[in-house]
A = this chain, B = another copy of it.
Amino acid sequence: MRPNDLAEIRLLPLFSGMQQDCYDRLMLAAYVQNFPKGLTMIRQGDPADFLFILLEGQVELFASWDGHETTMAVLRPMGTFILAATIRDAPYLMSARTLERSRIMMIPSTNLRAIFQEDSAFAMAIIHELAGCYRAVVRHTKGLKLRTSRERIAAYLLRQAHLAGDLRSYFLPVEKRLLASYLGMTAENLSRALKSLEDDGLKVDGSRVILTDPEKLGLVAKLDVLIDGG
């Protein structure tokens, strides 16, 4: 573990309010590991032995059933994942793999569960974090059920533009096939829909996104804070 890892992790909302000795004991049991690109480090159905914290790199959460796969989320540093399974001591509902070489901290679930019973500030932070995760999935599900493919794409691209600093041009943070899966469609469908959105103020060249007419695209997306976030 690198010396300034501890300092950075300490600042995460999940840990920043903890008592020092609880934090120290939690970190004593933790360790950091490097994973190469494309490695599946969590398989759905496995017992949730660890809480994971992404320090560097990029991770995909995905789910499988009957030979099919779908992307549930893409994570970037710094953030935790699969907190809920850890807490309920239940099997993971999702698998996780690295999209690029990643540095990841692993905290044994037993230690986690023991320590949040002692440290009420930590417990509060977990409550807050879990409530946020819950709301994120609900928003995503609302989008899937209420919007068409084109609308989901338009909303996603406008949202990314906003996150990138309200730019009119930026690069896609993930591969298109992954984006398609995340948005609940096939890669072919995404490809065609992107083309059809050229009539609505969008231009995509490779992974470069250009909002030629953000307002017009907005009429397609109909952004909503209760789906797309604040």
- Could you tell me which A residues sit within 8 Å of B by CB distance? 44-45, 63-66, 68, 70, 72, 83-85, 87-88, 90-91, 93-94, 116-117, 120, 123-124, 126-128, 130-135, 137-142, 144-147, 184, 222, 224-227
Known A116-B127, A146-B68; judge A141-B137 contact (CB<8 A): yes
- Copies of this chain, complex-wide, total 2
Name A83's closest neighbour in chain B (CB-CB). B131
A interface secondary structure, majority: helix
Q: Which residues of B have CB within 8 Å of A137?
A: 134, 137-138, 141
- In the bound complex, what is the Cα–Cα distance between A84 and B129 (angstroms)? 10
Q: Which residues of B have CB within 8 Å of A139?
A: 93
Q: Which residues of B have CB within 8 Å of A130?
A: 84, 127, 130-131, 134
Distance of A48 from chain B, by nearest CB (Å): 10
Distance of A65 from chain B, by nearest CB (Å): 4
- Can you list 19 A-B pairs with a CB-CB distance of less than 8 A? A45-B226, A63-B138, A63-B146, A65-B222, A65-B224, A70-B145, A84-B130, A84-B132, A84-B134, A90-B135, A91-B225, A91-B226, A93-B142, A120-B123, A126-B127, A127-B127, A134-B134, A140-B141, A144-B144
Q: Which residues of B have CB within 8 Å of A147?
A: 65-66
Highest count of chain B CB atoms <10 Å: which of A91, A93, A134, A227: A134
Contact of A66 among B134, B135, B222 (CB under 8 A): B222
- In the bound complex, what is the Cα–Cα distance between A131 and B132 (angstroms)? 11
- Contact A135 B85, beta carbon cutoff 8 Å: yes
Contact of A94 among B90, B117, B120, B138 (CB under 8 A): B138
Q: Which residues of B have CB within 8 Å of A65?
A: 142, 146-147, 222, 224, 226-227
Highest count of chain B CB atoms <10 Å: which of A70, A87, A135, A147: A135
Name A68's closest neighbour in chain B (CB-CB). B146
Q: Which residues of B have CB within 8 Å of A83?
A: 131
- In the bound complex, what is the Cα–Cα distance between A189 and B44 (angstroms)? 31
- In the bound complex, what is the Cα–Cα distance between A84 and B133 (angstroms)? 9
- Contact A146 B45, beta carbon cutoff 8 Å: no
Name A144's closest neighbour in chain B (CB-CB). B144
